Amino acid sequence: MQAERQTYFSGTRDYIASQELQNSVNVAVALGRPLLIKGEPGTGKTMLARSISEGLGKKLLIWNIKSTTKAKEGLYIYDTVQRLYDSQFGDHDVSDIKHYIKLGKMGEAFLAEEQVVLLIDEIDKADLEFPNDLLWELDIMSFDIPETGETIKAKHRPIVVITSNAEKELPDAFLRRCIFHYIAFPDAAMMKRIVQVHHPDLPQRLLEEAMQAFYWIRSIGGLQKKPSTSELLDWVQALVVGGISPEKIGKELPFLGVLLKKDQDFNTVLQRLQQPETPKRSPAPGILRNW
């Protein structure tokens, strides 16, 4: 049992992964390829890496990508400015460049004594060339530090999880090397399981009302930002903390600000709520109007 848990990912206590997603993860792990995850914001892309690390009992390293991040920073940083400053005062030994080389997250992952899970979060935020700059390192799992002549080689091939919000297209050469999975928005049954995992003691009635209101809001056409899973979880939390009775949820939509983040969306939903002929509760998510 223990041994199986080490090699086969099947979701964790607080993260429900669909069968497809589990398969994709396991394929990526077995083949040693990076796993590229796309999906609507709030569908748990980042959480997946945590869950993999927890489920397989491996350490998680997170490399958060920003618009200014360069590929080399993930490997190592050579702090030249510090070295130059130090050289002016002469109170440090500047002859050894090694003191000024700091490993980035990828370098850390390579040098870890055990296999780790490396999350490269929101890769699409970086510059267009960023993924291409990482191709070689991800492929052969080693890199050189020309300043010291060292070669850092992965002791254990890390499990690489890459998330993308599709803000930019990723280069084909990069995509070819990845295993790809698109996390579809969970359907009502799946969503129920997800909410229950996070709030196990939730009264049934409250959950149903909240879910209905949630899918009703998602069904309204013209929303700029549809509420997502993570927002539903926060909302349910707010409803519980606020002690809202289930009857009120569909009628008044309390704490709407947790679900909707844009003024216009707020107004749209409130308008629809006030129209008497519009049902505030949806019979089932399957037949909602979307436009």
Cβ closer to another protein: 61 or 268? Answer: 268
For another protein, the binding residue among 12, 15, 33, 217 (CB under 8 A) is: 33
Contact code string over 110-139 relative to another protein, x by CB under 8 A? -----------------xx-----------
Q: Min. distance of Cβ 187 from another protein in angstroms?
A: 5
Query: Is residue 175 part of the contact set for another protein (CB under 8 A)?
Result: yes
Chain center to CA of 33: 18
Query: Is residue 31 part of the contact set for another protein (CB under 8 A)?
Result: yes
For another protein, the binding residue among 16, 36, 106, 260 (CB under 8 A) is: 36
The interface with another protein within residues 133-172 (CB under 8 A) comprises 166-170, 172
The interface with another protein within residues 226-265 (CB under 8 A) comprises 226
Residues 25, 10: Cα–Cα separation, whole Å: 9
Q: Judging by beta carbons within 10 Å of its beta carbon (0-12, 13-18, 19+), is residue 180 exposed, middle or buried?
A: middle
Query: Is residue 284 part of the contact set for another protein (CB under 8 A)?
Result: yes
Query: Is residue 178 part of the contact set for another protein (CB under 8 A)?
Result: yes
Chain center to CA of 87: 42
For another protein, the binding residue among 6, 96, 184, 242 (CB under 8 A) is: 184
For another protein, the binding residue among 211, 214, 218, 259 (CB under 8 A) is: 218
For another protein, the binding residue among 180, 199, 234, 272 (CB under 8 A) is: 180
For another protein, the binding residue among 14, 85, 96, 245 (CB under 8 A) is: 85
Rounded (5°) CA angle 55-123-58: 20
Residues 192, 246: Cα–Cα separation, whole Å: 16
Query: Is residue 26 part of the contact set for another protein (CB under 8 A)?
Result: yes
What are the residues binding another protein (CB under 8 A)?
19-20, 23-24, 26-28, 30-31, 33, 36, 38, 67-68, 80-81, 84-85, 88, 127-128, 166-170, 172, 175-182, 184-185, 187-190, 215, 218-219, 221-222, 224, 226, 279, 282-291
